[in-house]
Structure 1
Amino acid sequence: MTVELPTSWRSTLPYLSEPMPPDLTPESAGGTGVGVNLPMELVRQSVLEREYWQIPAEVLDAYRQFRPTPMWRATGFERAIGARVPVYMKYEGGNISGSHKLNTALAQAYYYKKAGVKELVTGTGAGQWGTAMAAACALFGLRCRVFMVESSLRRKPYRGVLMRMLGAEIHSSPSGLTNVSGKRADGVGNSLALAIGEAVEYATTHDGVAFCIGSGETYSILHQSVIGIESQAQLAELDAQVDTVVGAVGAGSNFGGIALPFHAEARATGAQPPMLVAAESSTAPKLTRGVYAYDKTDATGSGPLEAMYTIGSDYPIPDAHSAGLRFHGAAKIISAMRHTGDLAATAVTQQEALDAGRLLTRHEAVLPAPESGHALAAAAKLATSGADGMRSERGVLVCVSGHGYLDLAAYEQLLNEELGDEAPSEQALLSAVSGLKPVGQGAGPLLVGGRR
């Protein structure tokens, strides 16, 4: 293919059906939601309704090492699932981090360095984001510190090795190094909110250090728009059309990256937008079984409360291979679009996700990350019998957000028939969200799974 690397990111903020609800401070309404260490360019990218943002030359130079990324029609996968329509795959695993996360990590490292920051600290679940941040810091000459969810680091020790190879310092979370980790309850060794909370606390108590996040923030989803922009050009080059775009959702960055440019293009031209389908883990089903409410984004609760679909930041996510999809809430821009009906969602079990990953491995010679397996499983349903009342009629585009070479322990469990699924009970969800404030003036009681 001759598709060129995009030189601008594309924002969907000008094309939302309704403005996103403002953030709240924990004490009162009216908070700005802007962190004190956040570079102003990232703040602007989060709030201004500007459609195109030029990618800095230094970031473009780094992108050229691995972008544009490949897209192809997955005919082997189609035959294996008995697809009625074409299935196209956009593959983001061909870089040092092994995932799409590097798209925003490079941009953030660039902006933080320009702002005078010397060290970036972050929390990571499955390790893709931590690896991407370690790689970006190495390229831009910053120190890097990562708090990684204990259960993931235990299962994926080579993620930690790779981050250390890139110069990062790694801590298993709960680490015992922070006050918030000392307040943990039993079973919180699988909490991404805690790992993020530890990173937040560390950053606020050390000079020259800033906290950064890779998935849920509006600016990080903006940086991921290169995925969808490239996909549109690649589909046009193939003279192909799709009516469905699918991505996995932890907080929302790879899904937003591939899907939202299609929404913006349709709104800009007056065309009918494709069906945008977020595939989430059934162990953390915020978009399918959560509530639209104000919740905290990490275990410290010190930052602004954001309007999100959530199963509750204190809900104990089961110790399972939900991989990087174990975050309790969806990004506020993804949540806002879910609330207005501009995107749909479906939940996928671990068994379904890893089975889909096995099919892709056998029939396309690509080993996907377990996160991507959720998107693949959803795409397979949409291209065949349908899922949750949705079915593709012309074609499906799915984001394979990363490779699974450091996730082989999950696939070993699949092969050994040792997988288990722990979907939350209705009572557990109600309990976890009972103290949250619903979004909207005069909002009524919280309804689990409730939306427009």
Structure 2
Amino acid sequence: MNKIILNEKELPKKWYNINPDLPAPLPQPKNPEEKDNISKLPQMFSSGVLEQEMSMERWIKIPKEIRKIYKRIGRPTPLFRAKGLEEMLDTPAKIYYKREDYSPTGSHKLNTAIAQAYYAKKDGAERLTTETGAGQWGSALSLACSLMGLECKVYMVRVSYNQKPYRKTIMQIYGAEIVPSPSTDTEFGRKILKENPEHPGSLGIAISEAIEEALQNEKAYYSLGSVLNHVLLHQTVIGLELKKQLEIAEETPDIIIGCVGGGSNFGGTVLPFVKDKIDGKLDCEFIAAEPIACPTLTQGEYRYDYGDTAGMTPLLKMYTLGHDFIPPSVHAGGLRYHGMAPQIALLVKENIVKARAVSQKSVFESGVTFAKAEGVIPAPETCHAIKVAIDEAKKCKKTGEEKTIIINFSGHGLLDLQGYEDYLTGTLPENNK
């Protein structure tokens, strides 16, 4: 079976909330000393997503309007068997990849962008502000706002703004306004630029700028593409579809792999499987693949920290490199974030999820290998998961084990060709350090 395609009627009707099934209680957000950042949350987020953020309900109904748009953008997405890659690696392992690149913007990000825009519109908002690294999230929210009749303002990390100009073009086609971050549009951006006019930017800084603007506009909300509970909740359509597809294929996963920046595509893929593992019904490794240049899970501390650089968010208990961390300018812009989704961080702390860091050159090498074998060019972020999958498949070749390996193919790389060009010409740094 080369691919498993679900009928539209099989699209999940509910999102899965991991909170009641976590192996330990999730540490709650808290205020820093002498600040009340939590009280600002209703000004920043719609009531719909705030309710979901704090919910302990295991299943949350997906509104019909959202399900209707999910179908329009290509959900359910297909699950492909990577037979070409298996043959190239000469491995007894079976490798599958979930095609989230099938969405109009080329990644999984629309799953939550549509939901967040829907709830903002329902609250009477007229505008959403956000940040973006590589531009996948910015593209997704730009389209979602267009579909919902909302304005969209995107603060794009400056190094990615320069590296990936066509992401900016896509956002503009959908009607969004894009500025490089740090920018002169906000007080915090101006402060950073005064200190360093050539600052490359970071997701933490871009988040601060987007929050600052949202708090100053009563008709605007802030929208986040990863990290928070409601974002991972919306992404569970991936894992719920995957469960059905594996049942059709009569496969039990041995390893599920996704790249991690803030944790949304990885969480959306593995969270629906976690309870089965905790209950002893599934013997499966969950591997989160991150860049060596931004090793949040493999080298970060598990502690409370801000989600942004300016300290405007509540403190979140997570693995963090520090909210003032400025990552190297690797091409995988979506993975250059100092922190990690609290739900994923807890699962790593409890040894339910494993983390692995890989180098920039090795991920592009894996992306080229995958493209030659399967014909699909992966995003640099996705290449991290592919690198780990290839390593696991090679282990199976040595041991003779016929493991079933699942990759969440989180996005295509057709707008990331500069990175591939640098790799092919030998000018790509190992980790941009």
Please give the range of the TM-score, normalised by the shorter of the 2 chains. Answer: over 0.9
1:123 aligns with 2:131: yes
1:156 aligns with 2:167: no
Report the secondary structure of 1:189's partner residue: coil
1:177 aligns with 2:188: no
Preserved contact between residue 216 and residue 252 of structure 1 (Cα < 8 Å)? yes
Q: Give me the whole-angstrom Cα distance separating, in 2, the residues matched to 1:110 and 1:350.
A: 36
Query: Which of the two has greater helix per residue?
Result: 2
Q: What TM-score, normalized by structure 1, do the two folds share?
A: 0.89
Preserved contact between residue 283 and residue 421 of structure 1 (Cα < 8 Å)? no
* Counterpart position of 1:205: 216
Q: Indicate how the Cα distance of structure 1 residues 320 and 31 shifts in structure 2: closer, same or farther if over 3 A, else same.
A: closer
1:167 aligns with 2:152: no
Q: Indicate how the Cα distance of structure 1 residues 276 and 392 shifts in structure 2: closer, same or farther if over 3 A, else same.
A: farther
Report the secondary structure of 1:146's partner residue: strand
Q: Indicate how the Cα distance of structure 1 residues 54 and 265 shifts in structure 2: closer, same or farther if over 3 A, else same.
A: farther
* Counterpart position of 1:353: 363
For 1:303, the aligned partner's letter is: T
Match 2:419 to one of 410, 419, 442: 410
For 1:68, the aligned partner's letter is: P
Q: Give me the whole-angstrom Cα distance separating, in 2, the residues matched to 1:82 and 1:28.
A: 60
* Counterpart position of 2:294: 284
**Is 311-320 or 395-404 further displaced after alignment?**
311-320
1:302 aligns with 2:312: yes
Q: Give me the whole-angstrom Cα distance separating, in 2, the residues matched to 1:2 and 1:155.
A: 36
For 2:395, the aligned partner's letter is: S
- How far is 1:30 from its partner? 9.5
The unaligned stretches of length 5 or more in structure 1 are 425-452
**Is 46-55 or 222-231 further displaced after alignment?**
46-55
* Counterpart position of 1:60: 67
Q: Give me the whole-angstrom Cα distance separating, in 2, the residues matched to 1:408 and 1:423.
A: 17
Q: Indicate how the Cα distance of structure 1 residues 406 and 344 shifts in structure 2: closer, same or farther if over 3 A, else same.
A: same
- How far is 1:20 from its partner? 1.1
For 1:96, the aligned partner's letter is: P
* Counterpart position of 1:342: 352
* Counterpart position of 1:311: 321
Among the aligned pairs, what percent are the same residue? 39
* Counterpart position of 1:427: none
Preserved contact between residue 297 and residue 305 of structure 1 (Cα < 8 Å)? yes
The unaligned stretches of length 5 or more in structure 2 are none
1:107-122 maps to which residues of 2 (within 5 A)? 107-122=115-130
Preserved contact between residue 59 and residue 107 of structure 1 (Cα < 8 Å)? yes
* Counterpart position of 1:321: 331
1:90 aligns with 2:98: yes
Match 1:8 to one of 7, 10, 14: 14
Q: Give me the whole-angstrom Cα distance separating, in 1, the residues matched to 2:177 and 2:400.
A: 45
Report the secondary structure of 2:369's partner residue: helix
Preserved contact between residue 330 and residue 432 of structure 2 (Cα < 8 Å)? no
* Counterpart position of 1:51: 58
Match 1:26 to one of 26, 29, 32: 32
For 1:251, the aligned partner's letter is: G
1:79 aligns with 2:87: yes
Q: Indicate how the Cα distance of structure 1 residues 273 and 25 shifts in structure 2: closer, same or farther if over 3 A, else same.
A: farther
Q: Indicate how the Cα distance of structure 1 residues 173 and 423 shifts in structure 2: closer, same or farther if over 3 A, else same.
A: closer
Q: Give me the whole-angstrom Cα distance separating, in 2, the residues matched to 1:119 and 1:2.
A: 34
Preserved contact between residue 26 and residue 303 of structure 1 (Cα < 8 Å)? no
Preserved contact between residue 253 and residue 404 of structure 2 (Cα < 8 Å)? yes
Q: Indicate how the Cα distance of structure 1 residues 312 and 378 shifts in structure 2: closer, same or farther if over 3 A, else same.
A: same
- How far is 1:153 from its partner? 1.2
- How far is 1:265 from its partner? 4.0
Q: Indicate how the Cα distance of structure 1 residues 198 and 359 shifts in structure 2: closer, same or farther if over 3 A, else same.
A: same
* Counterpart position of 2:403: 394
For 2:216, the aligned partner's letter is: T
- How far is 1:84 from its partner? 3.4
Preserved contact between residue 14 and residue 62 of structure 2 (Cα < 8 Å)? yes
Q: Give me the whole-angstrom Cα distance separating, in 2, the residues matched to 1:134 and 1:422.
A: 30
Report the secondary structure of 2:76's partner residue: coil
- How far is 1:90 from its partner? 0.4
Preserved contact between residue 188 and residue 316 of structure 1 (Cα < 8 Å)? no
Q: Give me the whole-angstrom Cα distance separating, in 2, the residues matched to 1:296 and 1:243.
A: 35
Matched positions, count = 420
Q: Give me the whole-angstrom Cα distance separating, in 2, the residues matched to 1:128 and 1:239.
A: 33
Preserved contact between residue 23 and residue 30 of structure 1 (Cα < 8 Å)? no
Deviation digits for residues 300-329 of structure 1 (CA, Å, limit 9, x no counterpart): 202201111011111121122132100011
